[in-house]
Structure 1
């Protein structure tokens, strides 16, 4: 019940959980229904095609049987031993004997004949061969007369007519096939031969097709023109008059609707859904029917559907579990925030004092009932905190104002006045202990200021102030404030464990602040630390000292922590400028184009500069820049060489670069450009010429006649000279470079387009296939065909 109460109290969690759960249910249900629907249609389509194939085979078998019987009947009708039996009015006994013997021979030679009867119109007599015809006292003869010789119902010739020759049995045991000398319907007014075909012979193919599969496929029946259904099995289903009428109606309606001779239709037969496939026999007499129970036909589909629904149900239970877990995981941040908010809510403080704040607790229900949902609760709490923040913001602004005044104008306050203001505004600054000041500056501030938006700067400033005060405040009482937007100042008082006010842990804490800011915001800070002061009026002096220490990152580098003892040598240095000889040697090396010497002199100069005071460092670097500029001007004036150097940029280096190392690298780069511009003119001409050769090859690589000789002729130089120059410059011959360009283009054509190998050779300037294959395999490791196959597979 506690768990249920917990979820009941979390309205936002309910919405999240129900949304995910409903989505999963809809997706699983739609997937299961669509899959079973598609499966049923596929099975139905496959079964329909299979049924038509079966009926087509049966149609072929019946046509083949009809051809056999027709050929036999034509032979029998012209037999000279049987003609007297058909036409003689006065039949001699010997003709009768010979006729019966011939009929017996025909019966013995044709296994599919049930019996054979000859009708003599002159005598109005029937002559038959079967025992029942001869010995049953005329019953069979009378059955034949009433069925086949009825003047009111003439029978078609050369067609199979179903009949029952057995007494007292309506089972179709034979088919009558009437042969006359005309195509008119047969009646007692003309002579003819009647062949009775065994029904088993006709139905044999039906039975074989029906048991072709171990599974019950249904029943195959024959439908006559008058709608009678024929089957070799008297106990077959669908033979009742009710079923015959239903089947006739289904088939007839489908035939009339589609105007076709074959098809399939699904309908109810005696309350059961069945699938009826039909096809005319091709002779215009019968229709072959294939009737199957739709339930049995789709048994596997139904089984699969049930299994699918069962699996979907299992997956649905699994999905519900996942949705609950996922919803709670998504809700977890909100829950954690609520745990922090609840103790500070006016409506829940009393309840929280008495009850445990856990899942299903009363306070949770109270909050849910009071605030609607969790987001409304947090929104209301945010508004309440905003109002409270507005109340204290003015006091915070005043406190920060006095801290800035203490740092910049502390000499204007007396010790007592500052002590009074600190106590009044509850500043975290000791009024009895010594203090130190730390300055934190953002490295590369000029670039940072240019590339960062105003809102981001405010965020970074807020983060640095608060992170610095939080980390430092764990050990030392401190106050932090931002000044001029480019640095943050910390005022530290000694901790209770720091009896001698040595502030031994300050460097380690400043390093922790640097690492934290760099990890979260990607900014590096340099820090300056003042000496310990004992009187409040000296705060501005300590601040100026810490700020001056931070300037010496020019020597120490970015992310440095600098105190006065770290720069004693610089502060006590008496040297204010570089030796004249050093600057003179630098200028001479530049004019001679000796980059190594110029670099050595520049390195010596910066080694001297690193020992100067801060202002003297900037002045010395500026003087070096002037020296380099003047040397460049002299070189241009005397036309020793040509080069592109931005003269104005030389003077910006001391202002744009923060460290001596950066300044040194920038000036060294300028010296390299100056020395590079003084290379011999013929060297530059050679480079231009070689670049021209490369451009010619890249433009005309498809030309089969392109060669080192043709290129030399184009640039008006000897082939040997240009080949030697190309080899020395690029460490390869012109022919090797030409093949490299051609083979690279061949690879691109093999990868992108469907050109033949011959077309690619033509486009890349190759005429010999074996030469092309050898070069390609030597460069790529495989033949062009293998390369194309590998690329198509990958």
Structure 2
């Protein structure tokens, strides 16, 4: 009863909330749409106004540049045609009386126009430049003649142009940068105009007039109407190279790598504007159509400066929206309260009835499908059809069915981390993901089969799967990718052949048995149960000879060989039924257990394996690697235990040998063979074990003990050298002398003298 009341209260709240939210959303949408339309309209108007104004300004700049170009053409042609200057152009050796008036005339041409920076006349016959310039800080010439030999002329760029003059048209501006001298740190930008006779280019009478116009003059024209220092106006050619300086880049820089260049050059013949980021700042970029030289005039203005007023309007609109929203909130609160009461009574009853019916129907449907797969219900087609219709199951019983058995990878870890309710919810998520991804191909039903298993039932109109094997693999991969992304886990999928609905139980047993082969394929595997069922016809013969080799390797403490033989036996079962795999593992487990018991008994070992090999349940093991790891660790643990026992035995042997040497060093018969006889052991084996454990040869250790004893006697007694030699087991004194000196670097007599001197 309490639950029912709680449900009704919950329904009341939901009806009221829905009405309230509906009214609020309608008001918000209306205000947002109207304000957004106004804002967008104002912004478009402002954009067009700014665009038209700046485009007109850029067009005016274009006219002034064109006028300057025409004037430069006229001046260069006048210089080229002036008879006073013809001697500078063509004479191979004009005298000083010809040069002076000609240079004055050249200066007059230069100073007649303020934007002309310098004028060169190049005499090809004498390879001489005659120069007039208005740059007073750094002059090109250091003498009054104004003439320079081609080889020493500082303007190397113009020399390169003249050497390749075929690539340059007369009266066409060439943009370039130039420093007047090496000591001048400034770089000046020019537009260079060439005037020459194309017919005499390759003759000795070829003369060229070079007029350099300062880029600063054009720059001043372009920025004259700029109202702020943040805007940038510049010119680019058809290749994307700057032919004027900008605020950030020098003339000659290519802008093709800038953010907006791609869109700019996608409209190569029209003017327009772009809104894009420039140097990390959102900007309004206006560009003209190309002029006669292919130049385009571009103006970049920060977006915030252009749309400052529009942004203020936007803020005002937001304030108005907030006020309207607050008012509408109160209005909606009152209206929804009034409307919700009569509606909610009916809805609450319908909600309870619908919820109870849905829950009951879902449980009945799951129970029926589960019993159908487990063959606990009638397999009669007519009965199945009636129940499918009654429970509204999304399957057509007249069609064939396909079955996907989905098993959760690392399920044991799941059971430790999550409760049963969480795992059921997780399986529900699996069903949703698979249904969503398979919906283009099949209609689907999900059945929870307990533990780590979920069955997906699909309809197929034909007795073959209606998608290709490659598409099926892509579908399974996408299922696992979605599982990894949204649920942070993976699944293994086994799919059945096409079958009829009344044979669903047989298909389920088939895919369940085939799914056990995940043991070989590992997590996220895809298994075709039809392929696995072909293994049933194969006869298996258990390799008794290899089992014998395995037990011999274990008894011989050779774990590497045991692992290798074990793997050979296991890998031979990959293409046999699961019953064969289960039999082989059980048989091996029993044989290995018996072998371990024998080894432990023979070597007096107390060993208890970390797991019970005879109680392995393969149906719950997901990877063969898990079983292999258990067996391999068993082999390694047994080997380590035996090695420890063997090492303890050797340590005791070394201690016994050392005790014999310490007590019998005075005996001249003390040697390797004598000790081996005393211990009833092979001399070679005894010497090898001693060297392995102590890193010393046994005879060397005997000599070392004797020499140390000799040093004690030399220090503490008055025995003669011959007596000491005899007492420590040396047969003659001379051999004792040699051996003592070899170990100590001095003879026994010197050793004793040194001790006396020290005392």
After TM superposition, the score normalised by the length of structure 1 is 0.38
> Normalising by the residue count of structure 2, what TM-score does the alignment of the two structures yield?
0.40
Structure whose alpha-carbon radius of gyration is higher:
1
